[in-house]
Amino acid sequence: MGALTTVIEWTAPIVPVIKPANSIRICGDYKLTMNKATNLDTYLVLKVDDLYAKLALAKSYTKQDMNHAYQQKQLDEDSRQYATISKHKGLYQYTQLPFGISSACVIFPVYRGELITGDQ
C-alpha cells in the first residue's frame, strides 16, 4: 500500500475566517476531533471588586499585549498531535495554542495568571 500514508487520528480540516480588516485567519475545525473529546474545566474569574482590591495592594503594574493572545501560549510536544490541521499541501501541527479549540478560553486565562503571579 505504498500510495497510502498514515492517518493521524486528531487531524482537523481548516476553516478560513474573515477578520474585520478583510484579512483571513486559518482555524482548525476541531468540532469533530479535539472539542468532541474535551472535558472543559472551569476557571473562576475574579469579580471586579476583588480585582480592584488586589490592584490597590500591588507594588507594580504591567501591560500585556493581547494581540494574538492564544498564540502566546506554547503547546508542549505531547499536545501538538491534537492540534494537527490538514491543508492541501499536507498535515501541520500548531506549536502554539490555536483558535478553534473549545478549551482555549479556559487554558489561556490560567496561563495568563501564571505569567502574572509567577506560579507554574
**Cα dihedral across residues 62, 67, 68, 70: positive or negative:** positive
pLDDT tens string 75-105: 888 888 888 999 888 888 989 888 888 888 7
Task: Count CA within 13 A, CB hemisphere, residue 58.
Answer: 12
pLDDT tens string 12-69: 999 998 988 999 988 899 998 888 888 776 666 667 787 788 778 888 877 777 777 7
28, 98 Cβ separation under 8 angstroms: yes
Span between the terminal Cα atoms of the chain, in Å: 46
Whole-number Å distance between alpha carbons of 2 and 21: 44
Domains of the chain: 12-117 (3.10.10)
